[in-house]
């Protein structure tokens, strides 16, 4: 069985677990979910997690891994 997936408004399918990271990136960057998805797709999936983790608002104690 594959992991649950959710389709975003731009039609990109992400694992549901990754969408929380996309939403964090959107919130930190002032983007919509669609904008964050486009950014993450253009940069690749891993950079989404790195961008959220590296954001100044995320202290080492708050960093999600």
> Each residue's pLDDT tens digit in the chain (65 positions)?
455 555 455 555 666 677 787 788 888 888 888 787 777 767 665 666 666 666 566 555 544 55
* pLDDT recorded at residue 12: 54
* pLDDT recorded at residue 18: 74
* pLDDT recorded at residue 35: 80
> Please, is 1 exposed, middle or buried when counting C-beta atoms within 10 Å of its C-beta (0-12, 13-18, 19+)?
exposed
- Interatomic CA distance for residues 37 and 23, integer angstroms: 9
- HSE, side-chain direction, 13 A CA sphere, residue 51: 20
- HSE, side-chain direction, 13 A CA sphere, residue 45: 8
* pLDDT recorded at residue 44: 64
- Interatomic CA distance for residues 19 and 34, integer angstroms: 11
Residue 14 carries which DSSP code? E
């Amino acid at each position: 069985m594959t992991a649950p997936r959710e389709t975003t408004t731009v039609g990109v399918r992400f694992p549901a677990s990754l969408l929380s990271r996309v939403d964090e990136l959107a919130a930190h960057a002032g983007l919509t979910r669609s904008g964050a998805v486009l950014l993450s797709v253009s940069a690749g999936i891993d950079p989404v997690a790195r961008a959220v983790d590296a954001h100044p608002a995320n202290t080492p104690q708050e960093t999600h891994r």
